């Protein structure tokens, strides 16, 4: 059994297409197919359901691809560990980040890159918490920044980073005469633009309001906090966003930021890594950076 065969098998399971898997592995499609057939012959079980095109993994393939991912992850971890002993950390850290933390992740990755100049960091910042946890379990990510509440974090090490708090932002004229903090009832009377229903930040808001018999009915919904800020900066809109975004993007000119109380909507943001030992040396180094760095975006 060769590592190359396992790499091709895992790539096929990920891409679900022979040509795309071959391209991802920088080999021809016949070479990839032949390597997987040899792996099947060696293991004496069929791994792939074949027809005119790729039709999925067999039940045996679904079980064994988990082992293939683990073997490849352990192999990479071993190489990184040896390299760290010889010349310092090298390789690529794969980090999944929820959209709400994409504006604050630099508070962690910047000191990490400073401490480990030979390591490359690959960020994916459009993932949801559950998807990040799932991809860490498949060894496709080394670490993630997520909302841990409501997510199954069994088998993971959870390192809290900061407490996210929702605030009201609006054009100064819209808030003329309003005292700090603004009540939720008054905030809901403003022309609101909010995140889409189903996004975690919106769920936090809707759950908190529902507990107090209130409902948000925004005139505009978006899947990006940047889009919400762009509308608010025009002066005619208000929004409710995590205050952490204002650490990076700053409050637009002519816009006020006002705390919201009773209820105060907060959520923990945390770094998660596999709890398996010895695990990824890159993930361990990231956790160590977290303990040394000041992750406080307020």
Domain boundaries, the chain: 3-70, 92-161+269-291, 163-267
Max distance between CA atoms of the chain, in angstroms, equals 77
Task: Evaluate if pTM is beyond 0.95.
Answer: no
CB 146 within 8 A of CB 270: yes
Mutual orientation of helices 281-292 and 59-87 as an angle, nearest 10°?
60
Position of tokens 């792996």? Answer: 39
CA separation for the pair 24, 34 (Å, rounded) = 16
pLDDT given at position 73? 81
Closest CA relative to residue 290, chosen from 152, 149, 101: 101
- Please name the CATH architecture into which domain 163-267 falls: 3-Layer(aba) Sandwich (3.40)
Closest CA relative to residue 193, chosen from 159, 143, 229, 139: 229
Q: What are phi and psi of 265, to 5 degrees?
A: -95, 115
Sign of CA dihedral 141, 144, 147, 149: positive
Burial class of residue 280, CB neighbours in 10 A (0-12, 13-18, 19+) = buried
pLDDT given at position 271? 95
Q: What are phi and psi of 28, to 5 degrees?
A: -75, 160
pLDDT given at position 297? 61
Cross-strand pairs, 193: 220
163-267 has the same fold as 3-70 = no
- C-alpha pair distances (Å), 74 with each of 36, 69, 104, 140, 162: 21, 9, 30, 12, 31
For the chain, residues with pLDDT lower than 50 are none
- Which top CATH class is 3-70? mainly alpha
Q: What is the CATH number of domain 92-161+269-291?
A: 3.40.190.10
Position of tokens 């988990």? Answer: 66
Cross-strand pairs, 269: 162
Closest CA relative to residue 242, chosen from 125, 141, 104, 74: 104
pLDDT given at position 79? 78
Neighbouring C-beta atoms of residue 199, cutoff 10 Å: 20
CA separation for the pair 32, 23 (Å, rounded) = 10
- C-alpha pair distances (Å), 136 with each of 69, 108, 139, 190: 11, 19, 5, 41
pLDDT given at position 235? 84
pLDDT given at position 183? 80
């Amino acid at each position: 059994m060769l590592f190359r065969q396992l790499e091709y098998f895992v790539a096929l399971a990920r891409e679900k297409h022979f040509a795309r898997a071959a391209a991802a592995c920088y080999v021809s499609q016949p070479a990839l197919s032949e390597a997987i057939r040899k792996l099947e012959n060696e293991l004496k079980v069929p791994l792939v359901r074949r027809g005119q095109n790729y039709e999925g993994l067999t039940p045996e393939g679904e079980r064994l691809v988990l082992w293939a991912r683990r073997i490849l992850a352990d192999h990479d971890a071993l190489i990184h560990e040896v390299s760290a002993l010889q010349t310092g950390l090298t390789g690529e850290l794969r980090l999944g980040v929820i959209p709400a933390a994409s504006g604050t992740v630099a508070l962690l990755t910047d000191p990490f890159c400073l401490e480990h100049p030979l390591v490359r960091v690959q960020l994916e910042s459009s993932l949801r918490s559950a998807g990040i946890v799932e991809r860490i379990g498949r060894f496709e990510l080394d670490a993630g920044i997520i909302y841990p509440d409501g997510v199954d974090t069994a088998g993971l090490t959870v390192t809290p980073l900061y407490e996210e708090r929702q605030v009201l932002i609006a054009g100064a004229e819209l808030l003329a005469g309003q005292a700090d903090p603004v009540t939720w009832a008054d905030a809901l009377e403003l022309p609101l633009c909010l995140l889409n229903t189903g996004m975690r930040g919106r769920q936090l808001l809707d759950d908190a309001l529902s507990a107090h018999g209130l409902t948000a009915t925004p005139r505009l919904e978006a899947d990006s906090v940047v889009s919400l800020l762009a509308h608010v900066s025009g002066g005619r809109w208000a929004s409710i966003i995590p205050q952490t975004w204002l650490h990076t993007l700053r409050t637009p000119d002519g816009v006020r930021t006002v705390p919201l109380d009773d209820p105060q909507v907060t959520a923990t943001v945390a770094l998660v890594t596999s709890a398996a030992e010895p695990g990824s040396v890159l993930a361990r180094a990231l956790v160590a950076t977290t303990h040394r760095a000041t992750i406080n975006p307020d």
